[in-house]
Chains A and B, each alone.
Chain A
Amino acid sequence: MESPPVDAPLVVRDLWFRYPSSDWVLRGVSLSVGRGEVVLVLGASGSGKTTLLRSLTGVGVWVYGGEMRGEVVVSGRRVRDLALDELRRALQVVNQNAYTHFLEHRVGLDLYYISTAIHGAERGGRVFKRVVSTFKLEGLLGRRFFELSGGQLRRAAIAKAMVWDPEVVILDEPLMWLDDEGLEELREVLITLRSMGKALLVLEHRFLGLLDLASRVFVLRSGTLSPLEHGELRHPRKLALPSRSERSSAESPGGGEPVLRAEDVWFRYERDSAWLLRGASLSVESRGDTVVVFGQNGSGKSTLLKLLSGYLVPERGRVERAPGVRAVYLPQNVYLFFTEESLRRELEVVCSRRAGGGCLERGLRTLKSLGADLDAEASPFNLSWGQAVRAALSIAMSVEDEVVLLLDEPFTGLTYADRLSLARLLADVKVPKILTVSNKETLSMLSSLPSVRVYELREGLLSAIRPGVDPEVVSAAERCRELGIYGVA
């Protein structure tokens, strides 16, 4: 491990922070990030990573009204002594939700406006051109920010931060929603920033793809930061999908009649646009059959789920659901699943639609068995991501009718340990289900489980594959649990 630099652009000394009427979230955090350094801070959801970020920028005090002790020094000056404009020129942040960084819908216009507002018309024009060329945004300038892929969006948001030409750049969970291609894009950007001598602080829990770039790694637990020798967490960065010859026919488990079947489905959103799905076929059968659809962002995974749910109608081909089978859809943002003020009320509402008795009791039992720490009176909107996924599954499975679960990227936002835990839980749940995945790490975890069939969705076509299991991903997940980098046990 490299030793911390002496004249670092970012120095944090004995930082304590708490929100109004709460206990201390940070308890004496000390850290420094030197020029050209990438410092990785790992931590589970709720460990205080975002709070650390808010403390460094002053948002925690000025926006959230929190109390801060200790010292944050950026470019040799204490943050509390900096005017807001000076702070923005010294330190920039890219949020978890990069969509929030844009005001203009078109990327080019947004970057141009901020460049000229900061540097004036003439110099701003030059800065704009430099940033566009450095971050290879030429092809994205005319695009709308909400139409970009995850990787492109992060690249554009980082470019916007670089318009300020700060010495320090902080990225909060930059891999959130990113597929494998997005990860590669982000890595390129980080390498560029590092070569420019920027001090980079990355707060992340999906870290395997970034380990080789990091100079130092810390773990944030119980409000304190401890250094980590990360050599033992290393793993082959590129996981390979099977070659064509290794592709399997993804035999169904042979458990009886299909409960849901898509046959030769063709779909596109506009009549004059390209086909998103071109003859996709799959079926899910019996109890416990788990179908995984793997594909990059924009490959049509969510669209496929919406077709299977009956919400969208295929232009050609057909989707058939066995009589009495109900589809339940869990969206990427799992909090959108909840419509009531407590988990009990959620169950009551879902059960009120069904004639069969015992639904509520069954739901409460399932809730308990899937997540021992879930209180039925708790608001679903206050749950952690992992808890929310478990709660949604319990509610979906409470009714006696036959259900097929459609889960859109349920692993996003989870730590490695929680992913493994959820993968095992899904394998145990005896309900037919189809879930989508966009990165090979998670796919590797799922592939190790029984009764899992995997399809790859690429260029509108579904092909059955048999991906290999990377034991190092699974062992990294286990190691994370040992290190306390997990949210829900």
Chain B
Amino acid sequence: MSLVRDFAYAFLASERVGEFGLVTRVLTPLLLLSSLSLPYVVPGSRIPLVQTAAALAYEAVLVTYLAGSRRLLGVLRLVGLFLVLGFALNLLSALLGFEPSDAAVLVTRTLRMASIVIALTLVFQLLTVGEMRLLLRGLGLERYSEMFAVAMSQLPTTLVSFSEAYVVAKLKLGRRRIAALVKPLVVDSVLNSRQVAEALYIHGIPPAPKPKLVSRRDPLMLVPAILVSLAYALL
């Protein structure tokens, strides 16, 4: 369960968001995500190992700066779990007579998947809930911006309830019927949502004040992101 908790923490805004301008904080994860996704959309393209490793290293430094090494490890642990499953499936496919993937290709894909997940968490670490709402409103998605803000604000408490329901269901019903925890969680969420509605009635959903668009520290984050992305895209 601490695995899930650590992973969830990687989606919370960093205390250091104020050190950088909004433009850089939006561009950095977008650049990383788009360049790392290129091999998916360009047919026949290969995944460059060195550039992928460079992107991962840059992300690791950035996450460590923003949230600490514990959060980085938290993300990598969960990503690692899925990667181990992927490896196992590959081995299984070999046993079943299918042609297994090349080991080097597997390693490169592994690194790229980890990079993409970390880049995704960076979107959330670099923007506060209010700033995301501001951006969505700017895109004309007013209603969705409010729904998003409320959902993000209640995510942590929902995870706490999930952890409790998990312990109960495991002890009461055993691992086989663990899915039964969904019912109390849904009821809990519905009951909670009524209180959320009442709180919103009395406070509203205030927009974030306009954040600073640029900062003197921006190049420290943005330049390496551009370099890493360009190196990836040019191949």
Contact = CB atoms under 8 A, between A and B. Distances in A.
Interface of A: 54, 57-59, 62-63, 84, 88, 92-93, 95-97, 99-106, 109, 112-114, 116-118, 121, 124, 142, 144, 146, 160-161, 269-270, 272, 306, 309-311, 326-333, 335-341, 349-350, 353, 381, 396
A106 B130 CA distance: 11
B95 interface: no
A95 B201 contact: no
A117 B207 contact: yes
Contact of A100 (B160, B168, B196): B196
B129 A339 contact: no
Contact of A332 (B164, B173, B174, B180): B164
A100 B199 contact: yes
Contact of B205 (A103, A105, A326, A338): A103
Given A100-B154, A105-B153, A339-B177, 12 more contacts: A54-B198, A59-B198, A84-B201, A84-B204, A93-B198, A102-B153, A104-B13, A105-B13, A113-B130, A113-B206, A329-B172, A336-B165
Contact of B167 (A117, A329, A353): A329
User: Which one of B129, B150, B160, B205 has the highest number of Cβ atoms from chain A below 10 Å of its Cβ?
Assistant: B129
Contacts of B191: 335
Contacts of B188: 333, 335-336
A109 B198 contact: no
A103 B149 contact: yes
A103 B130 contact: yes
A146 B160 contact: yes
Residues of B in contact with A, size category = 35 or more
- 9 interchain residue pairs of minimum CB distance: A117-B206, A339-B180, A100-B199, A146-B156, A331-B164, A103-B153, A100-B195, A116-B209, A100-B196
Interface in B203-232: 203-209
A62 B70 CA distance: 45
Contact of A309 (B150, B161, B167, B183): B167
B129 to A, nearest CB: 5
Interface in B83-139: 128-130
B201 A57 contact: yes
Interface of B: 2, 12-13, 15, 70, 128-130, 149-150, 153-154, 156-157, 160-161, 164-165, 167-174, 177, 180-181, 183-185, 187-188, 191-192, 194-199, 201-209
User: Which one of A104, A112, A310 has the highest number of Cβ atoms from chain B below 10 Å of its Cβ?
Assistant: A104
A88 B70 contact: no
Contact of A160 (B150, B185, B203, B208): B203
Given A104-B153, A146-B156, A95 B15 contact: no
B202 A88 contact: yes
Given A269-B2, A329-B171, A92 B15 contact: no
A57 B171 contact: no
A63 B201 contact: yes
A311 B194 CA distance: 31
Contacts of A328: 171-172
A341 to B, nearest CB: 8
A106 B156 contact: no
28 contacts: A57-B201, A58-B201, A63-B201, A88-B202, A97-B192, A104-B13, A105-B153, A106-B13, A109-B13, A109-B128, A113-B130, A114-B203, A116-B206, A146-B157, A146-B160, A160-B203, A309-B167, A311-B171, A328-B171, A329-B171, A329-B172, A332-B164, A336-B168, A336-B188, A338-B183, A339-B168, A381-B187, A396-B172
Nearest to A346: B172
B219 to A, nearest CB: 25
Nearest to B130: A113
B164 A333 contact: yes
A99 B201 contact: no
Contacts of B156: 105, 144, 146
Given A339-B172, A339-B181, A97 B195 contact: yes
B172 A350 contact: yes
A337 B166 CA distance: 10
B12 A144 contact: yes
A118 B206 contact: yes
